[in-house]
Amino acid sequence: MSKRDYYETLGASKSDDAKAIKRAYRKLAMKYHPDRNPDDKEAEHKFKEATEAYEILSDAGKRQAYDQHGHAGVDPQAGGFGGGGNGNFGDIFGDVFGDIFGGGGGGRGGQRNGPQRGSDLKYNLELTLEQAVKGAEVKISVPSLNECGTCHGTGAKDGSKPITCNTCHGQGQVRMQQGFFSVQQACPTCRGQGSIIKDPCYPCGGQGVVEETKTLSVKVPAGVDNGDRIRLTGEGEAGTRGGPQGDLYVETHIKSHAIFERDGRNLYCDVPISIGDAALGGEIEVPTLDGRVKLKIPGETQSGKLFRMRGKGVVPVRGGATGDLLCRVMVETPVKLNEEQKDILRQFQASLKGEKHSPKKKNWFENVKTFFE
């Protein structure tokens, strides 16, 4: 075989990681494979060159030796790691093309026969703002796959047990040979399980699990927010072949509130006030999650002004200072006035002379003038 530089052969560089080396080899192998290029000696030669290079560069130890000493570092006659295309082609293709053909590296199929952990589940839990801020204990109903109580998860009828698959001999995978390709895939007879149930359990139909709905109690800690997750260990789907159950993740979603809006640890609310209170000042009642409190409105308050009430917000679930309640006052224009009230307003409007009563109005008109100029 040629002593051409292995990186040059694959079109790769020394700085490439293992994934890049694998991609480079896959591209060449698919292009020059003999099955795609029958009776093409040049393509066969390039395919063997690429395979030799990948066999060395895909192995961390061989690659290090090659980087340090070149071909001498991997030449068995020179005391190196060895290589030169003498590796197991089946292992190489199982690694590189396993995701295409449904196989995988050699020796992994037997794991299918062992205990398998159950799947994790997710539950979307809707909470009121009060429940999220103060904490609560909520009952939920969760459909899940649980271990069959009749066969205890084996899937076999009482008094029987699964038998070893004759096709894969319990390995769960079979090897298929196509030209130079040797790939593994799930056994078509036992579907990768390694065993066959001749007499299935009636309640679960041989699956070993049954669908049930269980009621759980979820303790929601105070201060949770949208997207927070509460983990209930072992409340997911049942494992197979004696494997442990998965977990249940409860994700919180806060319903919109009629009065408050939440932004992290702070709460916001709009508070309508009259023109009289805004102009002359006054004292009004505002709601909080702990009850009503008094809020003093100073004279000449403009619409949209924020008043901060410290410590009336949310205690974060992960700790930290309590948030605040920010009240945004909204000055209301009176409606449904009678003629007497309208006359009073007309007199009041006529009494407002000069620009000192409307400071924002003056600045606004000056900005408009500058804009058009």
**Between 1 and 198, residue with greater pLDDT:** 198
How confident is the model at residue 362, as a pLDDT?
67
Tokens at 114, concatenated: 């062992």
Q: Identify which has the larger pLDDT, 172 or 261.
A: 261
Per residue in 77-135, pLDDT tens? 555 555 444 444 444 454 555 444 434 444 434 444 567 788 888 999 999 999 999 99
Collapse the DSSP code of 320 into the 3-class scheme (helix H, G, I; strand E, B; otherwise coil) and give the result. coil
Contacts of 319 (CB under 8 A, 6+ apart): none
Tell me which DSSP letter residue 355 carries: S
Q: pLDDT value at position 263?
A: 93
Contacts for 280-286: CB closer than 8 Å, 24+ residues apart: 286/327
Is 40 a residue whose pLDDT tops 90? no
CATH topology agreement for domains 121-254 and 261-372: no
Question: Who wins on pLDDT, 357 or 28?
Answer: 28
Of 139 and 111, the structure prediction assigns the larger pLDDT to 139
| CATH number for domain 261-372, candidates 3.40.50.2020, 2.60.260.20, 3.40.50.2000, 3.40.50.150 | 2.60.260.20
The pLDDT > 90 percentage for the chain reads 32
The whole-chain average pLDDT of the chain stands at 81
* Res 298 pLDDT > 90: yes
Torsion of CA 6, 7, 12, 17, to 10 degrees: 100
User: What number is the average pLDDT over the span 233-250?
Assistant: 83
**pLDDT of res. 369:** 75
Higher pLDDT, 197 or 283: 283
pLDDT the model gives residue 231: 93
**Confidence grade of residue 321 (pLDDT, cut at 50, 70, 90):** very high
Q: CA 310 → CA 50, 58, 120, 259, 330, distances in Å?
A: 70, 62, 41, 18, 20
What was the pLDDT predicted at 372? 78
Mean pLDDT for the stretch of residues 129-156: 86
Give the pLDDT score at 184.
72
pLDDT of residue 169: 80
Mean pLDDT over 198-216 rounds to 82
The DSSP code for 74 is G
What are the boundaries of each domain within the chain?
Answer: 6-87, 121-254, 261-372
Predicted model pTM? 0.55
Predicted confidence at residue 110, as pLDDT, reads: 41
Per-residue confidence band for 242, with pLDDT thresholds at 50, 70 and 90: low
For 14-26, write each residue's pLDDT tens digit. 888 888 888 888 8
Q: How far apart are CA 198 and CA 215, in angstroms?
A: 35
Question: Which pLDDT score, from 0 to 100, does residue 84 have?
Answer: 47
Q: Tell me if 18 sits within 8 A of 58, measured CB to CB.
A: yes
Give CA–CA dist 66/13, Å, rounded. 13
Identify the CATH assignment for 6-87 out of 3.30.2130.10, 2.40.110.10, 1.10.287.110, 3.30.70.3040. 1.10.287.110
Q: Give the alpha-carbon dihedral of 155, 156, 157, 161, to 10 degrees.
A: -160
Average confidence (pLDDT) over 320-329: 94
The whole-number pLDDT of residue 182 equals: 63
Q: 121-254: CATH homologous superfamily?
A: Heat shock protein DnaJ, cysteine-rich domain (2.10.230.10)
Lowest model confidence (mean pLDDT) among 59-73, 79-93, 153-167, 325-339:
79-93
Q: Which residue has the higher pLDDT, 34 or 101?
A: 34
- What distance in Å separates the CA atoms of residue 8 and residue 66, rounded to the nearest whole number? 13
Q: Is the pLDDT of residue 52 over 80?
A: yes
* 51 vs 46: CA distance, rounded Å: 9
- Mean pLDDT, to the nearest integer, of 363-369? 74
Q: How confident is the model at residue 286 (pLDDT cuts 50, 70, 90)?
A: very high
The least confident of 10-19, 54-63, 193-202, 356-365 is 356-365
